[in-house]
Structure 1
Amino acid sequence: MSRVIDAHQHFWDPGRADYPWMAGDALAPIRRPYGPADLAPLLRENGLDASILVQTRSSLEETEEFLRIAHATPFIAGVVGWVDLIDPAVGDTIDRLRGLPGGEKLVGIRHQVHDEADPAWLSRGDVRRGLDSVFAHDLTYDLLVRTRELPAAIATVRAFPKARFVLDHAAKPPIATGFDQAWADRIAELAACDNVWCKVSGLATEAVWTEWDAERLQPYVAHVARCFGEDRLIFGSDWPVCLLAGGYGEIKRALEQCLAQLGPEIRDKAFGRNAIAAYRLPR
């Protein structure tokens, strides 16, 4: 049986580093340190065997720190870090990261694309050259985009047909304001490329934080399931961001319920096997 994996979680410490996205009163409840000691009991209580630690800021220092944490933390199966894609020496940077303690757990790279002013940022020549280096090192690239950036994401995935991409948070559908057809159509277009997986994660925080449940999330989970199929859906908690909307167990049970309604095989693959395939994790 495959490991049960939470393929999307974070650690941070606002007392030691700056997180621009964490500004404002609404995010005050999660503006505190979170680390392995906080997550370990939640994984045990909810039947998870392992997790993938994902970057939170554009910082090589954070990536280095995450690799050190992964080296010392057996339940962390992989790290999705950050590198400067437009740096001509990005390949050398990846080589250096892989040589650090925990470097063997570097499985992917991510950038907060949806925070870039240019919706076509992914289509820039210097960014594409950086992605060449990412894929030359057999790493996966996580797409952190919204509906606005999906056209560039689609073009990028098509430009690298032999690479592996993972769409984070199903491209953050605007659940709080209602089903968006532009999002749905672009998701279907992206899913037509068979080299991209989709994380069923971060959905509760796209809904009204105090007015969501599995039934509210179901249309979005069902749509990405129709588009990506049972072999390309991946569960992620998005902890501790998810705490804005609900506890770890509440989030996990809601997504499990949504996936189970679509069939037991979909649920089982999303909670382990698909993450192992997308990130080339040891079985």
Structure 2
Amino acid sequence: MSRTIDAHQHFWDPGRADYPWMAGDALAPIRRPFGPADLAPLLAENGLDASILVQTRSSLDETEEFLRIAQETPFVAGVVGWVDLTDPQLDATIDRLRRLPGGDRLVGIRHQVHDEADPAWIYRGDVRRGLERVFAHDLTYDLLVRTRELPAAIATVRAFPQAHFVLDHAAKPPIANGFDQNWADRIAELAACGNVWCKISGLATEAIWRDWNAERLSPYVAHVARCFGPDKLIFGSDWPVCLLAGHYGAIKQALEHCLTQLGSDIRNKAFGPNTIAAYRLPA
């Protein structure tokens, strides 16, 4: 039987490192350390066996730390780390990371593309050359974009038809403002490329934090399900960011409800098999 996987979670310690995106009073509730001991009981209580640990800042030090954590933490099945995609020595950097303790858990790379001033940053020549090296090492690339960056993301995915891409948080639809047809149309265009998986994660924090439920998320889950199909949807909690909108169990139950409404096959694949395929994890 396949493992049940939370495909998107983070660890951090603001006392030891800077997280520029974590500024402001609104994020004060999560501006504290979160580590494996905090997540382990939540996974157990919610029937999950494993997780994918995802980068939170543009730092090789963090990637190395996450690999060490993965080496010491049985439930961390993979790490999506950060590297400088414009680094001319990127091959050597990736080789070095894979030689570190836990280096065998490096399954993907991510950058906070939606924080770049240039909406076409990911399609720059130097960045695409870096992506080419990432894919040469059989790593998956996580797309952290919003609607603004989706055109460049679509062009990038088309440039690498054999690569594995994972779209984080369904490109963060502006749920609090109502259904956005521009987002919906670009999602459909991205999904049509055929080599992108989509994480059903981070949706509650795009809604009004204390005024949301499964029914409000359902139209967005249904849309990405129609676009990506049952083999390309992936569950992720986005813990501990999700705590801004609700506790771990509430987030998991809401997304599970949305997926189950679409069919048990969709639900079951989203909680493990599709993550294994997207990140080439051992079955």
Normalised by the size of structure 2, how large is the TM-score? 1.00
Take 2:221 and 2:261, find their aligned partners in 1: how far apart are those partners? Answer: 10
1:76-95 to structure 2, matched below 5 A, reads 76-95=76-95
Residue 106 of structure 2 corresponds to which residue in structure 1?
Answer: 106
Deviation at 1:91, TM superposition (A): 1.1
Residue 214 of structure 1 corresponds to which residue in structure 2?
Answer: 214
Residue 197 of structure 1 corresponds to which residue in structure 2?
Answer: 197
1:23-102 to structure 2, matched below 5 A, reads 23-102=23-102
Residue 133 of structure 1 corresponds to which residue in structure 2?
Answer: 133
Give ranges in structure 1 of 5+ residues lacking alignment. Answer: none
Identity among equivalent positions (%) equals 85
Amino acid at match of 1:59: S
SS in 1 for 2:271: helix
Take 2:277 and 2:117, find their aligned partners in 1: how far apart are those partners? Answer: 32
Deviation at 1:64, TM superposition (A): 0.1
1:151-170 to structure 2, matched below 5 A, reads 151-170=151-170
Take 1:7 and 1:131, find their aligned partners in 2: how far apart are those partners? Answer: 21
Normalised by the size of structure 1, how large is the TM-score? 1.00
Residue 279 of structure 1 corresponds to which residue in structure 2?
Answer: 279
Take 1:72 and 1:252, find their aligned partners in 2: how far apart are those partners? Answer: 25
SS in 2 for 1:145: coil
Take 2:92 and 2:121, find their aligned partners in 1: how far apart are those partners? Answer: 23
1:166-185 to structure 2, matched below 5 A, reads 166-185=166-185
Take 1:111 and 1:89, find their aligned partners in 2: how far apart are those partners? Answer: 17
SS in 2 for 1:62: helix
Deviation at 1:101, TM superposition (A): 0.2
Deviation at 1:129, TM superposition (A): 0.4
Take 1:181 and 1:249, find their aligned partners in 2: how far apart are those partners? Answer: 30
Question: What do you get for the CA RMSD once the two structures are aligned?
Answer: 0.3
Take 1:123 and 1:55, find their aligned partners in 2: how far apart are those partners? Answer: 21
Regions of 4+ moved over 4 Å: none
String of CA shifts for 1:179-201, please: whole Å, max 9, x gaps.
00000000000000111000000
Take 2:82 and 2:63, find their aligned partners in 1: how far apart are those partners? Answer: 6
Take 1:135 and 1:92, find their aligned partners in 2: how far apart are those partners? Answer: 14
Give ranges in structure 2 of 5+ residues lacking alignment. Answer: none
Take 2:14 and 2:204, find their aligned partners in 1: how far apart are those partners? Answer: 23
Take 2:166 and 2:104, find their aligned partners in 1: how far apart are those partners? Answer: 19
String of CA shifts for 1:72-129, please: whole Å, max 9, x gaps.
0000000000000001011110000000000000000000000000000011000000
SS in 2 for 1:37: helix
